[in-house]
Amino acid sequence: MCPSCNGDSSSATHVERSDMVGVENSRIGRPAHAANGINGHANGSANSVNGSSSRPVQRINPYAPRASDFLNNVSNFKIIESTLREGEQFANAFFDTKTKIAIAKALDAFGVEYIELTSPAASEQSRLDCEAICKLGLRSKILTHIRCHMDDARIAVETGVDGVDVVIGTSSFLREFSHGKDMTYITKTAIEVINFVKSKGIEVRFSTEDSFRSDLVDLLSIYQTVDKIGVNRVGIADTVGCANPRQVYELVRTLRGVVACDIEIHLHNDTGMAIANAYCALEAGATHIDTSVLGIGERVGITPLGGLVACLYAAAPEYVKAKYNLPMLREIENLVAEAVEVNVPFMNPITGYCAFTHKAGIHAKAILNNPSTYEILKPEDFGLTRYVAIGHRLTGWNAVKSRVEQLALTLTDDQIKDVTSKIKELADVRTQSLDDVDTILRVYHSGIQSGELAIGQKEAFDRLLREHRATSQSFERSEPIAAAA
Ligand SMILES: CC(=O)SCCNC(=O)CCNC(=O)[C@H](O)C(C)(C)COP(=O)(O)OP(=O)(O)OC[C@H]1O[C@@H](n2cnc3c(N)ncnc32)[C@H](O)[C@@H]1OP(=O)(O)O
Ligand SMILES: O=C(O)CCC(=O)C(=O)O
Ligand SMILES: [Zn+2]
């Protein structure tokens, strides 16, 4: 397994670039996990591939927030990390105290502004764990999450938290089938709970559960009421994951015009919209986004921390890099994945097995010239490495040339094109590992050097490859016998 890509990429070559924009200093390296351990870096000028010259690359980031959009918080937001609250509601989750502390410390080291913990009213151990995490002295502020009920509030304020997140359902579904309370009762209780928490000198947030299926007038009215009594934040929750980006934008934008306090948003991912919705919420003026590591939570969970970071890094890379310890992301995801016994998904933004693997020949050529051609995220900013896979039938001679240079073999472009067709022919039967590709290149090179081979001599090459394989196989077979003797 590759330590930096979460997986095996034995038919790939690592390509590391120290400069996204320029084409000099390209470094084509061998994967640490590749079988024959060649770590040489041929400093081929990627610019010279195919004799093409690169044009100056535009440095303006088209994804950055527009200066004219004054409500946009895409480069001014805080993360409320809820792996230890929403994440505990994931079907597989059971976090013992030690694991909770490890996750809280990792999130703190990553730099999230808030860590939200399960209600201390949930169980005695939940209360003790909440107290223990509050005593760690982390830089992240510690919040706990309670029902809009004085019994829960009284327990919460005694734990040592920096703030309490209060929630109650406002949709007709929840008013009828969950708590059974009307808006008058909800408003009265919310005022009582908020005033009580505020009297303890800690932060308080009031959130409406199932906001997108609640009546807009009810929502704006209760948010306005709690804003007037000095709540720190109001929260919108897409509890069932039904909202789309336009709806999120409109609700947040409307709310921004009604309250002066901060606006948090909590977005479930049932229809796969959670990251897009979070982005739109920030565009509309939300200030705080709820996340969990790998998105774990009820059902399919909420906005994933890593995915949100990827999305916001694309928009405001310098801001995101300055705020968070990005290379820690992989470690945190692995920690949580292990704790809840799941794998990091192969298509996970940033840390997925193939997040920085390039395959098709057209992509490979351009990536070798300038990684910005096909990458919006710089793997090195996340402590990761990119790969160019070459041992497959979609490969091209430019990618093969990079490997030839890396192995310090001397072949002309025409010879490289010739050996590329050989690789493709073999890869039509099965994908070739990097070792296989290296063997093909070395056999071809030595055939050319010895004069036994010329361009286009397919049968001669096949014979040389067969002979090489026969020799190396008999050597491999005889080795254990020699060792035993
Ligand atoms: C959408 C979300 O994810 S919100 C957060 C969910 N988090 C949790 O549920 C935390 C873990 N939960 C628990 O440990 C338990 O459910 C507890 C301790 C909170 C409550 O347990 P119980 O008293 O046994 O009640 P139970 O879970 O069966 O039902 C929930 C109760 O809270 C009430 N309730 C539900 N939501 C709210 C709310 N937001 N505010 C106030 N009361 C609420 C319900 O009416 C019900 O009351 P009832 O006892 O009068 O019927
Ligand atoms: O407190 C909140 O804002 C959100 C609660 C929750 O988990 C949800 O509504 O899905
Ligand atoms: Zn939720």
pLDDT digits 0-9 by tens, 61-85: 777 777 668 899 999 999 999 999 9
Ligand nearest the Cα of residue 265 is 2
Residues assigned a catalytic role: 363
Who wins on pLDDT, 231 or 51?
Answer: 231
Which residue is closest in CA terms to ligand 1's atom 1?
239
Question: Which residues are within 8 A (CB) of 430 and not within 5 positions of it... i.e. 6 or more apart?
Answer: none
Who wins on pLDDT, 482 or 125?
Answer: 125
pLDDT at residue 107 in the model: 99
Which residue is closest in CA terms to ligand 1's atom 13?
122
- Segment among 16-20, 63-67, 260-264 with least mean pLDDT: 16-20
pLDDT at residue 61 in the model: 77
Place of tokens 């734990």: 159
pLDDT at residue 1 in the model: 36
Give 54's pLDDT tier (boundaries 50, 70, 90). low
Residue 31 has pLDDT above 50, yes or no: no
Mean pLDDT, rounded, for 82-104: 98
Residue 5 has pLDDT above 50, yes or no: no
* CA-85 nearest atom, ligand 1: 7
Pocket of ligand 1 (CB under 6 A): 89, 119, 121-122, 147-149, 167-169, 178-179, 209, 239, 298
* CA-122 nearest atom, ligand 1: 14
* CA-86 nearest atom, ligand 2: 7
The environment of the single-atom ion ligand 3, i.e. residues with CB closer than 5 A, is: 86
* CA-152 nearest atom, ligand 1: 19
Q: Which residues pair with 141 in a beta bridge?
A: 114
Q: Which residue among 146, 147, 299 has the greatest number of ligand 1 atoms within 8 angstroms of its CB, and so is best to mutate?
A: 147
Ligand 3 centroid distance, CA of 268 (Å): 6
Which residue is closest in CA terms to ligand 1's atom 20?
122
The neighbour count for residue 167, using CB atoms within 10 Å, is 21
Which residue is closest in CA terms to ligand 2's atom 4?
237
Ligand 1 centroid distance, CA of 147 (Å): 7
Report the alpha-carbon distance of residue 295 to residue 50 in Å, rounded: 44
Residue 207 has pLDDT above 90, yes or no: yes
Mean pLDDT, rounded, for 262-289: 98
Ligand nearest the Cα of residue 211 is 2
Question: Which residues are within 8 A (CB) of 116 and not within 5 positions of it... i.e. 6 or more apart?
Answer: 80, 81, 82, 84, 85, 86, 143, 144, 145, 165, 290
pLDDT at residue 65 in the model: 73
Give 58's pLDDT tier (boundaries 50, 70, 90). low
pLDDT at residue 55 in the model: 60
pLDDT at residue 18 in the model: 30
Mean pLDDT, rounded, for 277-286: 97
Positive or negative: CA dihedral 185, 190, 196, 199: negative
Ligand nearest the Cα of residue 166 is 2
- The H-or-E segment that residue 335 falls in is helix 329-339
Mean pLDDT, rounded, for 266-293: 98
Ligand 3 centroid distance, CA of 240 (Å): 8
Question: Which residues are within 8 A (CB) of 361 and not within 5 positions of it... i.e. 6 or more apart?
Answer: 394, 395, 396, 397, 398, 399
Q: Is the minimum distance from the CB of 266 to ligand 2 under 6 angstroms? A: yes
* CA-236 nearest atom, ligand 2: 3
pLDDT at residue 67 in the model: 67
304 in Cβ contact with 277 (< 8 Å): no
pLDDT in tens, 292-351: 999 999 999 999 999 999 999 999 999 999 999 999 999 999 999 999 999 999 999 999
Cβ-based burial of 220 (10 A; exposed 0-12, middle 13-18, buried ≥19) = middle
Who wins on pLDDT, 74 or 52?
Answer: 74
Report the alpha-carbon distance of residue 119 to residue 245 in Å, rounded: 30
Mean pLDDT, rounded, for 419-435: 97
Percent of the chain scoring above 90 in pLDDT: 82
Residue 483 has pLDDT above 60, yes or no: no
Give 124's pLDDT tier (boundaries 50, 70, 90). very high
Positive or negative: CA dihedral 94, 123, 192, 180: positive
Q: Taking Cα atoms as reference points, which of 388, 419, 438 lies closest to residue 27?
A: 388
Token pair for 119: 């209600």
Give 139's pLDDT tier (boundaries 50, 70, 90). very high
What ipTM was estimated for this complex? Answer: 0.98
Query: Which overall architecture, per CATH, does domain 78-315 show?
Result: Alpha-Beta Barrel (3.20)
Q: Is the minimum distance from the CB of 143 to ligand 2 under 6 angstroms? A: no
What's this model's pTM, rounded to 2 decimal places?
0.88
Count the alpha carbons within 13 Å of 49 in the hemisphere toward its beta carbon: 30
Domain ranges for the chain: 12-56+353-473, 78-315
Q: What is the average pLDDT value for the chain, to the nearest integer? A: 88
Which residue is closest in CA terms to ligand 1's atom 32?
179
